[in-house]
Structure 1
Amino acid sequence: MTEKTWAGHPRGLATLFMTEFFERFTYYGMRALLILFLTAAVTAENAGFGIPRESAGAIYGLYTGAVYLFSLPGGWIADRLIGQRKAVFWGGVLIMLGNFTLAIPASPPVFYLGLAIIVVGVGLLKPNISAIVGELYKGQPGARRDAGFSIFYMGINLGAFIAPLIAGTIGEAWSWRGGFFCAGLFMGIGLLQYKLTENYLGDAGLHPHAADEAERAKGWKLLAGASAAVIALVLLLFTGVIPVGVTQLAQLVGSGMVALAFVFFGYVLFFADITREERGRVAVIAIFFLCAALFWAGFEQAATTFNLFALDYTDRSLLGGWFPDGVHPASWYQSINPLVIILLSPFFAWLWVTLGRRNLDPSAPAKFGLGLVQLGLGFVVIMGAAELILSSGGKVAPTWLLLTYLLHTTGELCLSPVGLSNVTKLSPPRYVGQMMGTWFLGAAVGNLAAGLIGGHVGSGSVEDMPGQFLQMALIGGGAGIAMLLFSGMIKKLMGSAAQ
């Protein structure tokens, strides 16, 4: 019997493509609304929580940072206890229930419970659905596997593109709670199609990798103990027994994650049983970790700083006649990044291959440098917009935000895929999984920092913005120039893996 295919690929790819599409719709639809809802006045017709912007940014940062951080235990739970298929399904169920919890018109603690449920759900689903894609191509040529992941990545960006236009519009123009409900509903549709077409996945991701029942029983005990400790800590924080404000908590969590990374890299570099060349490669991964954390701290301000900038300082009269307040939703601008990725990803793939044929392909450190420089240039553009607002006293055209997003997205295309590829290539064989964990940890640190920075910028006056954007431009651009200047030395540390 001939295996069913989809666009020349295993039929199971369509199942995972659609699941990821609906999950990313849910994630980016809710994310586009989060800080806008938290800061909306309680007396407004479409009422929010009226939280100060600095606190709202800290909440956003804790949420998005935790999403990436929980990918680490999410992968472990699938590998050791339940298998990737069940992790994806139950992760989706939690994401759906979490968003429905956000839709309940209740007090803030209920809302924050919904965020916590979503964090656990995304942590289960996100790393494991990618692992199942890989299993579909086991034993097949690398080029076909890469093409499959490219198609899968398109599902991510299609969901991220459409979500702010639908969930964002419902949330801003009608009801925040309705927007969250819409996000949960789409995850429910994704789960339904996942179960109806799961048979096309064959045995991929079906069983955990734990050796026997005794090992799994140990794992369940460890999970129960860790869960109890986390729940106890959260309750102590919420009840005020541990008197820590949300901004201070976010700062402490961020510092803890950075400290964890330094301890891990220090152990591997100085105490692990690896060769001299492998130590050089680990040092490069540590540099990439710092660059990634810095990049995401600037890039992920899309949903904080730039979302608030779109709300307060951008002329949104285009198509505004369709809406009661005469302006289109600020959350629409969250669709720019995935749209640019969809349009430009094929160009960048062609560019690197073409340059490689002529021996002109930039090294991985140089590509990181280019990504950071473009991040800095994006902040230069938005700094110009802030200066114009100061001089004119009015709002600026959407083109300022569009150009900022364009530069940040081309920077992402230089840095993110290159980082993923090189971390796996540079890691010592015994530490591949853990080194990939540091990549997620870098994203977690960056997302948390983006929330803290975005809340601080959004809560200040417009007079402060040019200086704040200039500072971010200098940090991002300066780091990028440093990477370009030292790319040759870093490339030498990569050894044969630089080829």
Structure 2
Amino acid sequence: MLKEHPRGLMILFFTEMWERFGYYLMLGIFTLYMIAPETARFAGLGMSNMEAADIYGSYLAMVYLTPFLGGLIADRFLGYRKSIYIGGLLMAAGYIGLSFASGMMGFFLSLLLIILGNGMFKPNISVLLGKLYEKPEYEHLKDSGYNIFYMGINFGAFVCNFVAAWLRLTYGWGWAFAAAGIGMLIGIIWFAFGNLKVPEIREADKISPKREGDFSLGKIFTVLFLPAFAAAAIGWLIPNNIFGSDSNDAFIFFCLPVLLFFFNTWRSAAKEEKAPIAALLSIFGVVIIFWAVFHQNGSALTYWAKNNTDRELGPKMEKVINTIASTEEVSTVPRERQLIGLHGEDLGTKMGSSYYFDNYNKELPTENIDGKPKDLTDTEWEKAEADSDAQHKKLVLWPTELQASINPFFVIIFTPLLVAFFNFLGRRRKEPSTPGK
């Protein structure tokens, strides 16, 4: 099947696989690193969940903003290959910087390097792949090529969490972040090798000619980014947060001029261009919602996996994956949990008699006169008291970041089936269009 595709596909496949290996490795442990206690064996930053989620969300917002500029710079000035090299090296420097950062200045500087590098790398490798399929003999294979390319992304996203878990639990956070940087450097070396061996990649790298009506970078900055950043500054500075935090307010305010810009683009477009622009903006809306939900895996879902799921390994599994498992001290005494509704209403309390309450920091309530927890029966209390080891029992647990490998695992499993299905339809001239897919 691969023989039908351009030779450059596998060069870009492995380049992107290694880039995503580093990107998702860092993202999988990012909030865990920020909330890890400074007094732990491998010290983290000791932030609260809210502070870590705030930084995580702001980081992702910038990660999705910079490809707009990176694509423009590549399209008009540098070309795709140079932009990929620059972006890859900046990201590698950022990941390795995180492994050595000893203060918040180094931490944020490293994040800035990753953000800028992602902006130069991410849009341009995907566009370069599309350029390989512009030749007539490859045009009908374009969707299939992107599906194969997408498998590389998910393979990197799947494997990286196992590497991260082993390194951070064995050697510390710094080694895990360094592995992300090393992965990115391997990807760049592989891309350089492909440039030498596959002339189609060099041929596909062409700077787009200037066309009438194109916005200059200066005009884009004046019309779009200057109002957006000014609005973000207002959102940051206004007292009494509207959307929960300064960064949330800044982000929402930043989006308003951007939405106005796209609305004016649609309104001022020629009659024949309005429908395609409207369709594209509709797709933007769906994609925004998808990625906003998807990236909860690095904050809300990570916290849930850490605190509210049973990650205990049985004796058999413990022997199999002992090298990437973590041993944590937990209590098996039943604890009272309060259920809170979506709007803050108290839905009552339930007693958890389960063996597993990892990282649940509430103290047992002692509202009754005899000091026993409220609503806990005498039998349950006596059973808990009888187990002297229950107070500080050590369990072997799955590393939290492994939950991030569940999604790419299923994508890897189902993508070949999906590609085969669409090839089957294509041979019978019944393959749906790209938007239909």
State yes or no: 1:296 paired with 2:366.
no
State yes or no: 1:309 paired with 2:304.
yes
The structure where helix makes up a greater share of residues is 1
Residue pairs, 1:379-458, within 5 angstroms:
421-422=434-435
Name the counterpart of 1:338. 408
State yes or no: 1:286 paired with 2:281.
yes
User: Given that residues 33 and 45 in structure 2 are in contact (C-alpha distance below 8 angstroms), is that contact kept between their aligned partners in structure 1?
Assistant: yes
Unaligned runs of 5+ in 2: 328-395
Q: Secondary structure at the match of 1:251?
A: helix
Residue pairs, 1:61-210, within 5 angstroms:
61-139=57-135, 140-202=137-199, 203-210=202-209
The higher radius of gyration belongs to: 2
Q: What is the distance in 1 between the residues matched to 2:221 and 2:139?
A: 39
Q: What is the distance in 1 between the residues matched to 2:140 and 2:245?
A: 47
Q: Secondary structure at the match of 1:70?
A: helix
Q: Which amino acid aligns with 2:411?
A: I
Q: CA deviation at 1:64?
A: 1.4
User: Given that residues 157 and 405 in structure 2 are in contact (C-alpha distance below 8 angstroms), is that contact kept between their aligned partners in structure 1?
Assistant: yes
Name the counterpart of 1:271. 268
- Count of residue pairs the alignment pairs up: 350
Q: CA deviation at 1:50?
A: 1.1
Q: CA deviation at 1:155?
A: 1.1
Q: What is the distance in 1 between the residues matched to 2:182 and 2:19?
A: 10
TM-score (norm 2): 0.70
Q: What is the distance in 2 between the residues matched to 1:65 and 1:241?
A: 19
Q: Which amino acid aligns with 2:161?
A: P
Q: Which amino acid aligns with 1:208?
A: I
User: Given that residues 82 and 207 in structure 1 are in contact (C-alpha distance below 8 angstroms), is that contact kept between their aligned partners in structure 2?
Assistant: no
Q: 1:225 to 1:297 in 2, by over 3 A?
A: closer
User: Given that residues 170 and 176 in structure 1 are in contact (C-alpha distance below 8 angstroms), is that contact kept between their aligned partners in structure 2?
Assistant: yes
User: Given that residues 237 and 246 in structure 2 are in contact (C-alpha distance below 8 angstroms), is that contact kept between their aligned partners in structure 1?
Assistant: no
Q: Which amino acid aligns with 1:157?
A: N
Q: What is the distance in 1 between the residues matched to 2:258 and 2:429?
A: 35
User: Given that residues 35 and 49 in structure 2 are in contact (C-alpha distance below 8 angstroms), is that contact kept between their aligned partners in structure 1?
Assistant: yes
Q: CA deviation at 1:54?
A: 1.1
Residue pairs, 1:26-37, within 5 angstroms:
26-37=22-33
Q: Percent identity?
A: 31
The structure where strand makes up a greater share of residues is 2
Q: What is the distance in 2 between the residues matched to 1:324 and 1:71?
A: 37
CA-to-partner distance for each residue in 1:148-177, whole Å, 9 max, x for gaps? 222211111111111111123312453111
Name the counterpart of 1:377. none
Name the counterpart of 1:399. none
User: Given that residues 144 and 419 in structure 2 are in contact (C-alpha distance below 8 angstroms), is that contact kept between their aligned partners in structure 1?
Assistant: no
Moved more, 347-356 or 144-153: 347-356
User: Given that residues 31 and 303 in structure 1 are in contact (C-alpha distance below 8 angstroms), is that contact kept between their aligned partners in structure 2?
Assistant: yes
Q: Which amino acid aligns with 1:148?
A: G
Q: 1:172 to 1:302 in 2, by over 3 A?
A: farther
Q: CA deviation at 1:272?
A: 2.1
Moved more, 138-147 or 246-255: 246-255
User: Given that residues 70 and 120 in structure 1 are in contact (C-alpha distance below 8 angstroms), is that contact kept between their aligned partners in structure 2?
Assistant: yes
Q: 1:97 to 1:299 in 2, by over 3 A?
A: same
Q: Which amino acid aligns with 2:38?
A: V
